[in-house]
Structure 1
Amino acid sequence: MHPIVAALKHHKTTVILVVLEIALTCAIVTNALFLIGDRLGTMQLTTGVADNELVWARSSGIDDDATPASRASQTAADLAALRGMPGVKAVAMVNSLPLSRNYWSTCLGIRPGGDKAARVCNLVEYLGTPGYVGTLGMQLSAGRDFLPAEYVDYKGSNDPPPPVMIVTQALAGRLWPGQSPIGKAIFLGDKGQHAVHVVGVVAHLLNPSITKYQGVESGFLWPVRSLAGGMYVLRTTPEARDAVQRDLPRVLDGVDDQRVLTDNHSYVDTVKDYFHDDRALIWLLLVVIGCLLALTALGVVGLSSFWVQQRTHQIGIRRAIGATRRDILHYFQIENFLIVTGGIALGLLLAVALNLLLMKHYELPRLPWFYLPIAALVLWALGQLSVLGPALRAAAVPPVVATRSV
């Protein structure tokens, strides 16, 4: 080991430049791998609904100032027509869907009396007409679905809320940790005068948008009779989904040809569209990682090849006094390992510093520790693979080279 370190001291500038190159690569690759893993993890989240069976549409042109009775009548006519389509298993109207980006948010009180300190805000309101829990394919983990009599007219925070609600399991754990939420009350209104009781819990239901304010699952469900400007959601058989989406505009026009259909999508496409930017970022980061690793590998190959050329006579002398090809090979591999290890040690510190910078300015989560050894292993493997060619050429130098004049 000592001869290797002593030889490196004679090439300090070159070694420092390679170490800095490896350190920079390590810092960027570590954080890029973390960002890729974070995005892939988000993309694999369970939406909580029957993704492959849903089609949704939204229309305009219906009087949003209509009375609750006339709106309910219009909604009932639309739903009846949609329910009669071949392949449709259930239909409902909702205000939003997971990952649809459109949402309402509100604050809930977890103690009576309008205590501001007991309010939990930035919670997502999901509203739907009768049967929408089953239509969307949500799975209850506790409690029950809404009863027909519990659906009421509700247009927003200015109206008295429905008497009951269903919460997500994540929200229940946040509001009542370690307790059953069934039967628990939350309080709405400026003075907390409206008590609403939890009757059910859905296992999963992603938010319409995953942000630092709403998080991943912070929603609850209201039962309403009708919705102004809501989304028609149809649950179909998988094989009929595309046909239902194609024929849906014609069916709605048959009920009211004055409307304009502003949206008509399969829910699978909605999810795909939501994660479009994430997929683009992943590919960009993969290209960046590939380029950095390639440049680092070229740097190691170039340095090792240069040193082999410089030390050809020395290698021949070592071979002449008894060093084997394996000894020469191991010499360059160990030398490379020491250089790469120095770069990795500095690079891991830079990776943590870069992550702290990203956390501060771009609100990214903290870098999990296990990404550090992953990046280290990648760079160690890259270093050994890169030095292998020059090391094999060095090991092939014959002892007779020692007899030649320098």
Structure 2
Amino acid sequence: MSNSAGRILPVLTALLLLAPAVPANATTTGRDGPVGWSTAWSAAHHHPVPGNDWDGPNWSVPGFADQSVRQVVRVSAAGSLIRIRLSNRYGNQPLRLTGATVGRPISGAAVRPGTLLPVTFERRLSTTVPAGAEATSDPVRLPVRALEALTVTLYFAGPTGPATFHQGGLTSTYRSTGDHRFDHRAAAFTGETSQSWYHLAGVDVAGSPRTRGTVVTFGDSQTDGYGSTPGADNRYPDQLAERLVATGRPLAVANAGISGNKLLADSPCYGEQGVTRFRRDALGLPGVRVAVVLIGINDIGGGGYPDFGCGASPVVTAAQLIDGHRALIRAARADRVAVVGVTMPPMKNAVGYDTAQNEMLRDEVNRWIRGGGEYDAVVDLDRILADPTDPDALRPAYDHGDHLHLNDAGATVAAAAVAARIR
């Protein structure tokens, strides 16, 4: 642990007692007066890209026309009110939403009868989101418990054009022709599923004294959950939320990971560089109090590869990566958000990543994260997840199979290590 790691408890306590100022429209009035919104679920978006054998099919390039899109998410915190946020950041035309509903799922695309409620935007059922922009709905009075699932159904009567989306959703999304916003039957959505999220950027909660802000987990596929069981909510941020709930800590958890993301390079397939998107995807979330940063392995492993259609991968130095981390720390401090640094886990035997030069670079950056004293706290996953007989390799029990990504057991260990730094 770095010398500054011990400061995280008073820092978090102060942030919970004295929350940063939020815009006037980010509060609502509850039984105990004004209550701020907290992000209880989020997805970091990127450009639409065609599906492939590695990531699976998706609907982002054609978008939607006269189609209903039903998405099931799990909120990480309680609230008496919810609202949804929609994104058209990477659209090439205004996004015209005909209408939306929220409800309580049963299983799959089925929704509990009588729970589907309309969502309005400035008191209108439909809305138009300009290209490059987001829209936030009006509050919906639908009480939710921590770790409860919600169904969000969006209907687009006219063509949307390419869809702003999150490819690695690891959760089934359902599509059907026609307007099925208020159709609770799973049969209305048979036949077409995807493992991505479309246009839905976040679900916020308010009105519960048990929720006092959000921990945002920021990074690449380790945060996004690649390697965990699809449909099981076993990503490390999911399990972090479960631990916070189980131990009575009043914080939601939001996931701002994008598989393939880099700290220092943009990719049309895997999102804008971390130093650019951190302010929007992490610090820009309603109610954020703590940011947990795990990123850099793709800058190292991809360095020097040519552009195969997903952007160039320049060779980076340890000094450049450290400067990138420092940029994130400065941004978080400017917004009075506590920031936790996480060392990059072992990568020995990972195809395309494991070279002597790459290992030296990973070690050097990890030494700075671990001992540099610049993060408010440090989670040393490099050591926690390492094989005791070979510290440069993942422990086999935590290895998804590619020697780089965590399976469910590895995500459990990572979540426990992060939770230990948050009070």
Query: If the TM-score is normalised by the length of the shorter chain, which range does it land in?
Result: under 0.3
- Which structure's residues are more often strand, by fraction? 2
TM-score (norm 1): 0.22
- Which structure's residues are more often helix, by fraction? 1
Higher relative contact order by CA 8 Å / sep ≥ 6: 1 or 2? 1
